[in-house]
Structure formats: structure tokens, C-alpha cells
Amino acid sequence: MALLAAGLYLISNDDPFPLLLAKLDAALATGAVALLQYRRKQIAPAGREMEARQLLALCQRYAVPLIINDDVALAEKLGCGVHLGQSDGSVIEARQRLGHAAIIGRTCHDSLDFARQAVADGASYVAFGAVYSSVTKPNAQTVSLTTLRQAKQQLSVPVCVIGGLTAENIQPCVDLAVDLYAVVSDVLGLSVDEVAGRVAIWQQVLLPQK
């Protein structure tokens, strides 16, 4: 199974695609992004493939793995990993289709039972959240620090957190040695010129755990 670097895990937003591409280029050029997830729910399927292919080329340039949100068929077509919500298909089936080396993530909310099942099914990492309320998912269930602590102690795969994360509010998760920090607005909500500087701040906060 693919080895995952710890650190910043960017998830695409709904910016016009040329603007998004410019922001992601700036972010990935820093060398401080561990993973990139393509998530664009407002785009038609044909458009998603076109966009994802461009992001794949960008990711290959910077040697950053690309993860497709909730679409195993597209991930299979592009040779990428996939991230699956609890209602978005089987991790076992995704592993069978994408192969042993693919990165497969699973949303686990605040549930260690979900996480244990995901690991048993072959997930590469498990994602807990929301840590805080966020613009992307304002009504998402929150995760406790107790769950995150137990996950780090008990699970054999990297632990990811998501939900309202900023470089200024993640210290409790850093103290637990959480592996991956999934972020949308705190980086991609900025202008192109601000992105690299913001990623550098994240890198400084996360540096002690590397």
C-alpha cells in the first residue's frame, strides 16, 4: 500500500477552474503539500474528467498524489486514489478496482468503529471531522479530541482531520500527532498571491511533528 507523507492535504474549492489551477500551482510549488483531493460537486461528469486530468498533470509535476472525491470510476480511469464518504461505496471494491498501491481514504466522522472497519477493508487513511464548523460543511458532525487520541493509539494507518481548520487553531491536533490536515478555505479562499505564504505558515506549524 502507498506510503503517505504527513502534512497539509488540500481539497479543491469551487473557484473558476483557471483561478483554482493557479492557486494550486502556487501551493504545490512550495513543496509543502502532502496530498491534493479533487472535489468539484457543481461540475458535470465530463467536465470533472477534463479538470481532474489537468490537476493530475500538475500533481505529477510536483510529485504530489492526486485523490478523487467519491468517484472510483474516474480514479480508475486516471490511475489516481479515491476518497469515499460513508455512503459513497465500498472500500473493498475500490481497493479491488484501483489496486494495492492506490491511496484510498474513508470518512469516519467521530466513529472509531467506522475507522476500524475502514482499516480492515483496506483504507490507506481514515478521516475524522469536522473538528470545527466550516463554510464547506456548516452542519457537519464534530469529532472529539478523545476520538482522535484513541485513533492515533489504536489504528495502523494515518489519521486525517477535516473541518474548519486554520493554521491558528490546529495545535490540539498537532499535539496528538495527527498525520494529515485537510483544508479548503484557509488556503484556497485566499488570492493567488497569498497562497504560498499561507502554505508556508502551515508548514511552520506542522514542522515539529515531521
- Provide the domain limits for residue 98: 7-209
Residue 198 lies in a domain: yes
Cis, bond preceding 34 (omega within 30 deg of 0): no
pLDDT, averaged across the chain: 94
Specify the DSSP element, H or E, that contains 159: strand 159-162
Residue 1 lies in a domain: no
- Measured distance CA(155)–CA(158) in Å, rounded: 8
Q: What is the pLDDT of residues 156-200, one digit of tens each?
A: 999 999 999 999 999 999 999 999 999 999 999 999 999 999 999
Residue 2 lies in a domain: no
Q: What is the pLDDT of residues 113-142, one digit of tens each?
A: 999 999 999 999 999 999 997 766 676 778
- Measured distance CA(114)–CA(128) in Å, rounded: 10
Q: What angle do CA 197, 203, 207 make, to 5 degrees?
A: 155
Q: Between the CA of residue 126 and those of 24, 106, 141, 160, 192, what are the distances in Å?
A: 24, 5, 16, 6, 30
Supply the pTM of this predicted model.
Answer: 0.95
Q: Using an 8 Å Cβ cutoff, are 146 and 125 in contact?
A: no
Decide if pLDDT at 210 tops 80: no
How many independent structural domains does the chain possess? 1
What is the domain-level CATH number for residue 43?
Answer: 3.20.20.70
Q: Using an 8 Å Cβ cutoff, are 62 and 31 in contact?
A: yes
